Amino acid sequence: MADSTQNDKTEEATGQLVTHPPAALLEGLGSQGKCKTDEYKTFEELQVAEGQTNPMILACQQCRSKILRAGKATLIAKEVFLPLVSQKKAIGTQPDGETVKDYWLVNEMMTFENVGFSNTVGTSTKYLTCADCEMGPLGIHDLQNPQEFLVAVRRVKYAAN
């Protein structure tokens, strides 16, 4: 019986030897970007004041993907309109939405663990989504402010790991 830590080797029809990684490695990689807990907190439970950093990991509410590591964003108060999460509207119509007042401010796009960006809406707006399940918008990026990425505090959940 082969050791499960060794790579599986098969010969394709072309005669070339192909190496496949062990199943345990592939399984581990598949969950690497996910939070390992089933215990999440809401923003209200965090008791964070404006100007403080996020004390926990920001995770997608739908699929548990890690959006941002702890300590990487600062809480700010800024009123910005965001469309409601995951709605379908006809092209050219104004989406339903809400004015969101509290955001996590991220200064650099590469700080995110797992975030997607919509196509540009209007002249300078991109919406942030979960890169795994595409839930969103989770936040907003105004191209006029290249160092300002805003994640709505109530559109994510919070995890310790």
H runs (alpha helix) in 31-131: 43-46
Average of per-residue pLDDT across 13-32: 53
Q: What is the C-alpha to C-alpha distance for residues 150 and 87, in angstroms, rounded to an integer?
A: 20
Q: Regarding beta strands 149-152 and 97-106, do their DSSP bridges make them parallel or antiparallel, or are they unpaired?
A: antiparallel
The reported pLDDT for the residue numbered 96 is 85
All domains in the chain, ordered by first residue: 1-30 (no CATH), 43-159 (2.170.150.10)
Residue 147's Cβ-count burial label (10 Å; 0-12, 13-18, 19+) is exposed
Residues 68-127: pLDDT tens digits? 999 999 999 999 999 998 665 556 666 789 999 999 999 999 999 999 999 999 999 999
**The pTM is what?**
0.76
